[in-house]
């Protein structure tokens, strides 16, 4: 795998995950229209994160292809 941001992991290249720690797995599609890229947060993840309308989530991509998503606390930017 190339060490650049934006690399998509194949199933065989996915980081090792302790299955005891997994609470939800679901796939979604991406829609690209012009400069916009959109995806849906799966309902199970939405509920698990306690998200509601207007919440802000932060996306952090690392060079190894891992992406972290975190709900920001109100007032934090």
List per-residue pLDDT tens for the chain, 77 residues long: 444 445 555 555 566 778 888 888 888 999 999 999 999 999 999 999 999 999 999 999 888 888 889 999 876 55
pLDDT at res. 65: 82
pLDDT confidence of residue 67: 87
Residue 19's pLDDT is 83
Query: Which pLDDT belongs to residue 33?
Result: 94
Q: What is the CATH number of domain 21-71?
A: 2.10.260
Contact at 8 Å (CB) between 6 and 59? no
Contacts of 67 (CB under 8 A, 6+ apart): 59, 60, 61
């Amino acid at each position: 795998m190339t060490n650049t941001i934006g690399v998509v992991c194949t199933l065989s290249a996915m980081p090792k995950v302790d299955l005891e720690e997994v609470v939800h797995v679901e796939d979604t599609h991406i829609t690209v229209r012009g400069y916009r890229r959109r995806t849906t947060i799966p309902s199970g993840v939405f509920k698990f994160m306690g998200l509601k309308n207007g919440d802000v989530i932060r996306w952090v991509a690392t060079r190894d292809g891992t992406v972290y998503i975190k709900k920001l606390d109100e007032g934090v930017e």
